[in-house]
A = this chain, B = another copy of it.
Amino acid sequence: MARIVMKFGGTSMAGTERIRNVAGIVKRQQEAGHEVAVVVSAMAGETDRLVNFCREANPLFDPAEYDVVVSSGEQVTAGLLALTLQALGCQARSWLGWQMPFHTDLAHAKARIGTIETERLLASMGSGEIAVIPGFQGLSGEGRVTTLGRGGSDTSAVAVAAALKADRCDIYTDVDGVYTTDPRIVSRARKLAKVTYEEMLELASVGSKVLQTRSVGLAMKEGVRVQVLSSFVEDDSPSADELPGTLIVGDEELEGSDMERHVITGIAADKNEAKVTLTRVADRPGAVAAIFSPLAEASINVDMIIQNIAKDKGETDVTFTVPQSDLARAQAILEERQEEIGYYRLIADDNVTKISIVGVGMRSHAGVAATMFSTLAERAINIQAISTSEIKVSVLINADETELAVRVLHTAYGLDAA
């Protein structure tokens, strides 16, 4: 017998027909002898509807009242899933954030998780009752409803799994696992059996939107084993005890068990970056600070930065990337300060893609980055910027070459399915 937390997203909960499908999956886990808690999102589209109501009511909304409104979406699906499980003959009850309680701090609309009280929850689960928990919501120290911020239900599920000391947290989504790369780009992409938390963080932050980054960080901190799998499966799906999805675990669980593992785990393509180049910036102390300080103050996240070698005239070109959604604001800020910074021209380009290769194997293998550069060079794909971390190498290329680059790298690192 294991203790399992299952989490279902908004697409899986969109309507009573889909909730019935979810209830069937939950029931199979209980029938396999497991203690089960289920964390649910609101029906797809519902949170947007509620957020729009709040914006219409008061554009500068009070986050405490916003939380009262938007938390109702998960309250509805939690009650409906409990009802549906009962219709299938299971014992089930809902536990709202204030009932457990699921304590958080006072930061309404973006609350941080505190202690989750589990005594009554565990007693209920131990008696054979399935616990149904609305994701996203909690209770502040002032006794008011809080929410964790958009997409917070994944994080709720991981937090509940940690508090319950669950054997596993199964996150059901509309994809059946984490792939070596986007299967829509590379048909020979393979589903990964295991990835490490760090790899998942790097893959998520560069565009594999399978899990909320925050939930992966929490799972890593708390050592929660997370499985990503699909809720849209046939009834003759693998039995409850198989692991059909991708398991996200710590390094220690990986080592030894995966002798055949590739140096690179996955390749991500992120089309949401934009490139900004400032030409002929004065090559003097403080020039770079004059560029990036105002962007930081405006909460614009600057990623890759390259400063070209100073030319003979004591001038240099500075290139960096920002999210496409912040490009207009970044341009306005920099153009306003053209004199102060001292540059000649601002050139913006949003037709770029950041390609990243990710893998913990990189730590112990030399030449990983060199393979990337030479593979792209062979296809005459120009690298516009480079950034690296311990387990990731990213390059910026022309967006038109995205598919070609991902495909050739996928082959070069031996990731293609047989």
Contacts and interface: CB of A to CB of B under 8 A. Distances in A.
Contacts of A93: 64-65
A122 interface: no
A56 interface: yes
Contact of A57 (B19, B61, B69, B75): B19
Contacts of A143: 99
A87 interface: yes
Given A53-B16, A84-B57, A69 B62 contact: no
Interface residues of A, number: 40
Given A94-B68, A98-B98, A76 B50 contact: yes
A324 interface: no
A96 B68 contact: yes
| Number of identical protomers | 2
Contacts of A144: 99
A375 interface: no
Given A84-B58, A99-B144, A145-B96, A65 B53 contact: no
B16 A87 contact: no
A144 B62 CA distance: 27
Interface string A29-55: 000000000000000000000100110
Contact of A66 (B19, B79, B87): B79
A83 interface: yes
A53 B82 contact: no
Nearest to A59: B87
A278 interface: no
A247 interface: no
A72 interface: yes
A113 interface: no
B72 A94 contact: no
B72 A76 contact: yes
Given A50-B76, A72-B72, A83 B57 contact: yes
Interface in A81-98: 81-84, 86-87, 93-94, 96, 98
A80 interface: yes
B78 A68 contact: yes
Contacts of A53: 16, 76, 80
A62 B76 contact: no
A57 to B, nearest CB: 4
A143 B139 CA distance: 15
Contacts of A76: 50, 53, 68-69, 72
5 contacts: A65-B80, A66-B83, A68-B78, A69-B75, A75-B75
Given A65-B94, A68-B75, 12 more contacts: A16-B56, A20-B57, A50-B76, A53-B76, A54-B79, A54-B80, A57-B83, A58-B84, A59-B87, A62-B83, A69-B76, A72-B72
Instruction: Rank and list the top 3 A-B pairs by shortest CB-CB distance, nearest first.
Output: A68-B79, A69-B79, A16-B56
